[in-house]
Amino acid sequence: MTMEDIALSADPTADVHHYPLDPLSGAEIEAAAAVITASEYCTPTLKFVMIQLAEPAKTATLTFDDTAGTPRCAFVTMYDAAAKMIYEAVVDLTARVIDSWTPIPGRFPSYLVEHMTGVEEAVREDPRWQEAMRKRGVTDFSLAMIDPWPAGYYGAQDHYDNSPLICRPLTFMRAAPSEHGYARPVEGLIVTFDLDAMKVIDVEDHGVVPLPPTAGNYSEKFMFDENNRPAFTQFRDDVKPIEITQPDGPSFTVDGWRVQWQKWSLRIGFNPREGITLHEVTYTDRGVTRPILYRGSLSEMVVPYGDSSPTHWNKNVFDMGEVGMGFSANPLTLGCDCLGEIHYFDGTVNDSSGNAVTIPNAICMHEEDFGISWKHTDFRTEEVEVRRSRRLVISMICTVGNYEYGFFWYFYNDASIEVEVKLSGVLTTGAVEVEPGEQPRWGKMVAPGIYGPNHQHFFNFRLDMSIDGAANSVYEVDSVPEPDPALNPHHNAWITQDTLVASEAEGARDWNWSTGRYWKVANPSKKNELGIPVAYKLVPKDVVPVMVQEGSHIYDRARFLQHNLWVTKYDPAEKFAAGDYMYQSADVQGLPEFVADDAPLENTDVVLWYTLGAHHVVRPEDWPVMPCAYTGFHLKPIGFFDGNPALDLPPSPPKACHANHVGLPVAERALES
């Protein structure tokens, strides 16, 4: 379909029923672009950065009963390189008009699609870069792998009036086409690249370091390197197949973007910046549908490096805000990325001309067995009751340059929710000359001549809570020894203390290992049978220290990671922990701005912003491709129910439970009779 066809077509939403929170379809994306292209605002140099759903305002009921009365609108961000200006527009797709047009001066956009593909060729043709490569003994430039790293921030020279949009590409050398390029980093070479003009501005050469000698390959295609040294000699022959089958089909049902699984109901969304978004998460308890989470998503992430070397000190990529998780989503593959009875959702994004681009199978959904949910053996009667846990898995995997990030949302049949991030892919490496047994100061050796710099990964998740409704209060809960000596004569008693987070000025909170701290979101107007307000708690899983230091440029760019939890009053304009546009900018944005008005938080519509991290001191075992590392957090009911919500799980079929029980205790063998 051409843009002219779209411009002349009728309402692109007329032939499809869309729920107001459903992601934009490809036709809607292209219709929004066509409306703008045909308007007086369009210029020959205007490019589309992101086209996504303009989410409608939250309703009092936390759902949309009158779906036909809610207009479909697109939120469009654009960049005009000639004007050095970002523009935001809201397009009414039903009326085919531009509702609003807003210039955003002094900011830079995230990458356009062509930035990721065009930089490499332009750098490869630059004579200054070629001369630097010849100094390193490289004459076959076709084997160079040039990654267009975001600019980070060096100082005021990176952001001044009429400054170009820049990146700082890093170079790696393959020994053969398709070989593992990150095994041969070109150390000390920094290119500054003008993304507006698509040309090299400058090449810095901080001195020649020999290219590492070994290939570091990890696939059967390159089982042996050029010196006939094995990466591995053969695949294991003792790995027997595992078949995961559900003869009656999965337990979930899907209606468009709505998912129902056991007592859970939720809606899945997708956009170029956040990737997966979850909406209207509810749980049905004894016939009553109870809201828990109105909207959940990754809000931002950053990867600060702890290495002062010239090619590493400025690495601090905001992979979501500077690149886009939706743009980076993989097409997932059955049997490799996902296993079992799978339902896929395609992701639809845009290119810079406003054309729709479909990422097939961008989101995977399936069920997993998760061991025992609960069990008890009455040793007197030898009666055993055991139930198996199951979880619904909703996931996407994103490739951003060298790294892979897997984002997994787990819903359990005990009404808990878990968010997990899996980190894999390839380390960003550096070349170094050290004596055997020595280590570089700011990293660790992973192979001869190759080291991995110290670095961290931080992910902030935005959780728009709705515990039995929108009016919630947040408490910080600490476990402490009984403070009254008269009540603690045996020095063993301890209590929990709830501290109300009363306003946004108190909303930046830190975890405390010594008190087993967690945070509780309660609804003061709804009480369980014990007369206690219903609640969910946020439980940290892995908490790492933040090594970013005050005085560094990254400190101000990523203030959100200075606290584990932030609590704000709901504001639909506040979606991203580091601000809307952080590219090539050093000023404080995002959460510090959001809490500046010190809005009251008690018994109101609250949003949790939780930051989790991965602390990466690299190992040789992380090379040449990294085994998954895991980090995440839990949301668990705490008085939300009157008892264990998983009591009604059915027993497993006898044949599934009691085969091959020779040698087991009498209490378990007795079940077979």
DSSP 61-105: TSS-S-GGGSPPEEEEEEEETTTTEEEEEEEETTTTEEEEEEEET
pLDDT at 495: 97
Task: Give the mean model confidence (pLDDT) for residues 274-300.
Answer: 98
Residues contacting 114, CB < 8 A, separation 6+: 352
Q: Given pLDDT bands bounded at 50, 70 and 90, which one contains residue 235? A: confident
Task: Give the mean model confidence (pLDDT) for residues 259-288.
Answer: 98
pLDDT in tens, 441-491: 999 999 999 999 999 999 999 999 999 999 999 999 999 999 999 999 999
| The CATH number of the domain covering residues in 252-305+316-427+454-469+539-638 | 2.70.98.20
pLDDT at 128: 97
Tell me yes or no: is domain 26-104 CATH 3.40.50.2300.
no
pLDDT in tens, 341-388: 999 999 999 999 999 999 999 999 999 999 999 999 999 999 999 999
What angle (nearest 5°) sits at the alpha carbon of residue 358, between those of residues 251 and 460?
70
Let me know if the fold of 26-104 is the same as that of 106-240: yes
158 is annotated as an active-site residue: no
CA dihedral sign of residues 588, 594, 597, 602: negative
pLDDT at 116: 77
Task: Give the mean model confidence (pLDDT) for residues 430-435.
Answer: 94
Catalytic residue among 80, 225, 307, 319: 319
Is the previous residue joined to 624 through a cis bond, with omega within 30 degrees of 0? yes
The arrangement of secondary structure in 106-240, i.e. its CATH architecture, is Roll (3.10)
pLDDT at 161: 66
Q: Tell me the C-alpha distance between 355 and 26, whole Å.
A: 8
All structural domains of the chain with their residue ranges:
26-104, 106-240, 252-305+316-427+454-469+539-638
Catalytic residue among 305, 403, 518, 555: 403
How far is CA 165 from each of CA 124, 153, 192, 195, 317, rounded to the nearest angstrom?
19, 12, 10, 5, 15
Q: Does the pLDDT value for residue 662 go beyond 50? A: no
403 is annotated as an active-site residue: yes
